[in-house]
Amino acid sequence: MTVEPQVKGWCPGAHRPMLSGDGLVVRVRPRAGRLTSAEALGLAGLSSTFGNGTLDLTSRANLQLRGVSEDDFPTVLATLEELDLLDQDADLEARRNILITPFRKSGGIEDRLTAALTRALPDLPPLPAKIGIAIDTGRTRVLGTASADFRFERDANDGLILRADGADKGVPVTEETAVPALIDLAQWLAKRVTPDLRRMRKVVTATGTPREASVFPVPMAARAQPGPVTAGLLVGAPFGQIPAVDLVRLLTDTGAPAIRLTPWRMLLLEGVTDTISASRAGFVTTLGNALLDADACPGAPYCPAASVETRTLARRLAPRLPAGLHVSGCSKGCARSAASPVTLVGREGRFDLVRDGHAWDEADEADLTEDQILKILTQDTPEA
């Protein structure tokens, strides 16, 4: 039997941390998806002093501190305020789900739109907490697979459009009309949200596209890969897990003035070309590293729902499974919602193996130890 897990309608933030197996998870939402080197070093220091020594890069390009105690939380919050990484209040923080293409010119339309949309957030109608906005206004789209409900994109004539996620066409807008158009579309969505239809894509699938939508967006770009790009250097962090000491070394040794966060478990180091220092700091700088294609949730001991450790196994298996590996601490499948050729699901200290499916699908083989898994998968695909 296949049972898709229920997704909680609440997003943790800095003001509203989430209690996990190893303490509080404090999610920081950098403004415009960017941190100066000083801000990033400040976060690394917080993680080393009050957290578990790692930062998690999320699929919405935010950073999480893990393992913060309730006693230390007020100090963490005060430090975030000193670093200017804290929103005025929890409600504003919860609404500020804005994802911005990392491939932008500083001070360009993406930055201006982000600032205008941030100012307009209080004018949006009440919407479910996970609702987000993508600003993906380059010549090709790069955020098409990232979570967002309202998408600002380009059409074939370089015009700006606003597209509802799930719709194939969008509404032409200008920089001046972008905010009113977003408010209109948000009101359209708010009227259609139900307990079962809480994201734009589901609403569009169930009720149809907004009538004025008439323009196709430009095509999607190929998936971004580590390496040099116009704005700097993209470097990968397997599973989105960034040891604080590695981040300090990365920033110090490359001299990056700022980093841009991406939803692809990669950081863009502004103005950097030094791949050697980035690689020495422990980051992936070359194409084709299988670890960047594998997903593994934090697992035990970090998540109370997990009975198995996940990432060590994923590191061992990823080179053998270039087509896709998902190691999930339980059947909720937080790390990957799409189907995967191989999914290993923790259950009572062992793993179930699902082929070509999701973490919540019926297992093909059950109650496996790590050694049994290695044996089965090694038979399938000898290591390259």
> Does 326 contact ligand SF4 by CB under 6 A?
no
Q: Which is nearer to ligand SF4, 162 or 314 (CB)?
A: 314
Near ligand SF4 by CB under 6 A: residue from 133, 162, 167, 306? 306
Residue 336 · residue 293 · CB < 8 Å: no
> Does 305 contact ligand SF4 by CB under 6 A?
yes
Q: Which is nearer to ligand SF4, 163 or 358 (CB)?
A: 358
Residue with tokens 């116009």: 230
> Does 330 contact ligand SF4 by CB under 6 A?
yes
Rounded least distance, CB 345 to ligand SF4, Å: 8
Near ligand SF4 by CB under 6 A: residue from 65, 303, 325, 342? 303
> Does 333 contact ligand SF4 by CB under 6 A?
yes
Judged by CB under 6 A, the stretch of 187-195, 258-266, 296-304, 312-320 that binds ligand SF4 is: 296-304
Distance CA(224)–CA(236), nearest Å, equals 10
Angle of helix 178-192 versus helix 200-207 axis, rounded to 10: 70
Q: Helices marked H in 193-274 — which ranges?
A: 200-207, 244-254
Count residues contacting ligand SF4 (CB under 6 A)? 12
> Maximum distance among all alpha carbons in the chain?
60
Q: Three-state DSSP class for 241? A: strand
**Using the 8-state DSSP alphabet, how is residue 304 labeled?**
T
Residue 225 · residue 6 · CB < 8 Å: no
Q: Which is nearer to ligand SF4, 138 or 238 (CB)?
A: 238
Q: Which is nearer to ligand SF4, 11 or 113 (CB)?
A: 11
HSE (CB half, 13 Å, CA atoms) of 199?
Answer: 15
- For residue 151, the Cα-to-chain-centroid distance in whole angstroms is 16
Near ligand SF4 by CB under 6 A: residue from 297, 314, 317, 344? 297
> Does 328 contact ligand SF4 by CB under 6 A?
yes
Distance CA(62)–CA(85), nearest Å, equals 11
Structure tokens at 351: 């793993």
Rounded least distance, CB 129 to ligand SF4, Å: 17
- Nearest residue to ligand SF4 by CB is 329
Q: Which is nearer to ligand SF4, 98 or 330 (CB)?
A: 330
Residues that bind ligand SF4 (CB under 6 A): 297-299, 303, 305-306, 328-330, 332-334
